[in-house]
Structures are given as structure tokens and as C-alpha cells.
Amino acid sequence: MGHFTPAFRLLGRYNLLALSVRRLSRPSTRSAATMSPGNRSAPSIPVSAAEAVKEETHLIVGGLKIVDRWFQVPVDYSCPDGEKIRVFARSAINNKDNDGGVTGGKQPICVYLQGGPGFECSPPKSHPLTEFYLGKGYQMLYIDQRGTGLSSPIDADVWMKGCTVAEKVQRLKMLRADNIVRDCEAIRKTMLDDKEKEEERKWTVHGQSFGGFCAVTYLSFYPEGLKEVFTTGGMPPLVNNPDAVYDRTYRKLQERNAVYYRKYPQDVKAVRRIVAYLKRDPVVLPSGGTLTEGRFRDLGLAFGGHGGIDTIHRIVQRAVNDLDCYDGFTYKLKQMIESQQSFDVNPIYALLHEACYCQGEPSGWSAARRLPPSLQSSSDEDPILFTGEMIYPYMFTDYSELSKFHELADPLAYEKAWPALYDVDQLKRNEVPVFAANFIDDMYVAYDLSRETVATIQGARSFDTNVLHHNAVRAKTWAVMGELWKLRSGEVD
């Protein structure tokens, strides 16, 4: 779900108050019960090994061997001989292990599934999980999910030229977790199926946010390829559409707005002044998009991560300073705002965000339909509230690159034929070790629904805390992973 600027260092020690480890044994009673029979038990599609296209190896200062790999896989796994796309994966291996083997190393592989949907992986050296897992004896494999990064990326100007809207919608439907997981399984077979021992043919998966959703899809349909699974802020709600999710995340969003204005009470008047200015004179941003009131309020997406509230305050402070000095916005401010909003460079995030919850039902612009009155308007006395990780129709006008996908937004929002993403019956008889970090105050992933999913997955164990936020795997890596490793080792208190 949310995507944040990396935080590379964990400073000091954190007092994890209200930190608890829970093994939830009761099956889900709300979410799983609402699943239609067709979604409760869906057959998996057979997956063949991916075709290795090319490989490049280089060394990075700091003791890392990098192996870049490109694979060719079917667009549609139900038509394995049909059109193909590329999927890119990057291995990060301790430089001392330079055996030249097909996996680039002898250590067990941990696959990192990126948050999103629609984001590529960052370079291994920039992700603190690399250091953590390498220190535990693993090698890392960072896969750019199909349609992102170097994996046949989606771009308005070069993607599917000359195709109809219906054809583009069908292609976008192939970019969800079900096919992301099939890509992973195809790559696993290419890299590991020649191993002698069964355990060596399996790998570990770590899913952050949306990557955790993918990991649970993996558990549902291809558990035979998995040795163990870790999720951080990524236990998906087992629902058929996003309505129940937004009802909960809107409440968390309002709580985070309250925290913001308590910390920076002067920003109540400042934000009201900025919004009044934008209503009179919307600002053209460097990319060509328009900074409207709605787009300005979109900045609240950052509230869900460590440091996000302070980041938005600095933008508000600079905006008011610009208005004081010039009665207008400087280029620097416009650039700062654009740097916080990645919809233009990651269009899948907007196009498929609501669809990543859909199983046999349309989203119907869920976030817009479930918008609480307090976020729709405010009196002269009330603070203007920011929005969060929600997608609204106006975004396909206000964002310059996203506007090029405008004709696809409605067909995707009202599409009904979404395949199942989870097999609840399989999850109930799961045998793969699963360790989840759930954040009680998560603004993006509904905590109570995450707990229900943990309870549904047989044998899953969770670490739950109210002092860490959604991006803790980057911002406070050792605080999160240290607790998950205690679960893995069987430590209890």
C-alpha cells in the first residue's frame, strides 16, 4: 500500500510500549464469512519455469555481489503459449560467496515483494532489509512486479499503442497479485527446481504492505514453493471489495489528521489559507499537472509513515511563506509537492489500487463513495482534513501523466470479473510458517481485518504494536525484524 521515502538508519532504542505478540487461533468470522463460495476455494493455474533471457553480474562497494536477471513469462498463464512479457529480478549476495552458480550463491533466497501496487524495487543497498537478511545468512532477490521498473513497465506514451480501451483494461487486469505470484513461482522453478533436496527448492518470501497481500495469495495457490513467509503491514483483509477497508482506514485517517493539528496547531489557519488560494487560482506544477484543493489534500498520504506529519508541515510552512512573500508559489515548493506524489510515475498504483481488494465484485470508486462528511467540507472554524491512501476520480484529471489513463479509470472501477486472490480453505490448512507484523494504528491496512486474516491462516503468528507505523520496515527495521525473528525462533514471554 503506502510508499515512502526510505529511512536508512535506526537511531537509538525504541520503547515498544503496548507491544504484544499474539497467536490468534480462532478463524476469521467477518471477512472470510463474506467470501462468495467461488472465492473460498479457487483452483491454481499450473505454472511452468520462466525463460531466462539474460543475466548481468557486478560488484558494489560494501561487499555486495549483484546479479541482474531478466525472465520471459506469459501475459496470461491460462494461455502459456500466448504473448510474453519480461520480468526483472535482482539478487543481492554477500560478495564472499562468489561460486558462480545458477543462483549466484549458495545461501537460501529471500524474495522481497514490494509495497504498492505498482512500485518497482529500490536498489538493494538502499533497503535496510538487505543488511538484515544477509546478516542472517540469506541472499536477497528483489523482483520488479510486472508492469513496474524493468518488468515491461506501463507507460502512457509507449504502452499498448493502437489498442482499444477494452484491450488495455484486460491487460491491466493481468497485473494484480495473482499473476505477480505466478511470475514469482515461474522464476523460482527456473532458479531452484534443479536442486537436489526438496527444502532447497523452496524460498522465503518477505512481503511489505501490498507485497504482503501477494504473499498471502502465494500461500493460497502455490504454498509448495514456500519455506516461510514474513509480512510487515501486509496482512490483507479477506474481502471481496474495498468498502469495509475504507470504512476503517478513513477513521484512522481522521485520527492522524487530529495528531497533525495537535502537533502543529498553527497549521489549521495555514492550511485554510492555502486551500482558499488554490480555490481562487489553481497552480500549474512543473510536470504540467494542476495543484487543486483535492490534490493538495492528497498530501495526507504521508501521515501514515514515520516522519510524514513533519514532512507535510514543512510543505505547509513553505507554502505560507511563499504566499507572504509573493502571493504565489515558488518552483521549489511545487517540486517539493510533486516529490511527495508518485501517481504520475507509478500509474498502476492509481489504476489498480481499489482493484487489489476485488474478488468477483466491482470497487465502484469505493473511496469516493465511502468518503465521510468530515472530509467533504469544513466550516470556517474546523480544520481542513487531508486525505490518505485513497483514489478519487479527479486524480485522473489533476495529475498530468495519470490523465492519459483517464479513459481506463471508469471501466476498471466498474469491472466485475475479478478472479479470486485468496483460497480461504487452503489458508485454514496452511503448513508454511508465517510471521506477521501488524501495526495497530496503520493508516493503510485495516488492523482488525489483518488480525482476522492471521487467525484464518493456520499456524500464523503475529507481532502487534501501536508504536510503529506502516513504513517501519524501512524506518525502524531492527525494531520490526527483531520481533519477527523472536517469533521465528519460537521465543515467548
Q: Position of cell 496547531?
A: 265
Q: Position of cell 493481468?
A: 174
CA distance 222 to 37: 20
Catalytic, out of 206, 353, 469, 470: 470
Q: DSSP strand E in 233-356: where?
A: 283-284, 290-291
Catalytic, out of 151, 209, 363, 462: 209
Residue 442 designated active-site: yes
3-class DSSP state for residue 436?
Answer: strand
CA distance 169 to 411: 7
Catalytic, out of 344, 398, 442, 464: 442
CA distance 284 to 294: 14
Which residues in 405-440 are b (16+ Cβ under 10 Å) and which e?
Answer: beebbeebbebeebbbbbbbebbeebebbbbbbbbb
**Cβ-based neighbours of 373, under 8 Å, separated by 6 or more:** none
Residue 470 designated active-site: yes
3-class DSSP state for residue 186?
Answer: helix
CA distance 160 to 156: 8
CA distance 422 to 49: 22
Q: Position of cell 552458480?
A: 101
Q: In angstroms, what CA-CA distances link 225 with 74, 185, 215, 249?
A: 19, 7, 11, 33
> Widest CA span of the chain, in angstroms?
70
Catalytically active residues, by annotation: 209, 442, 470
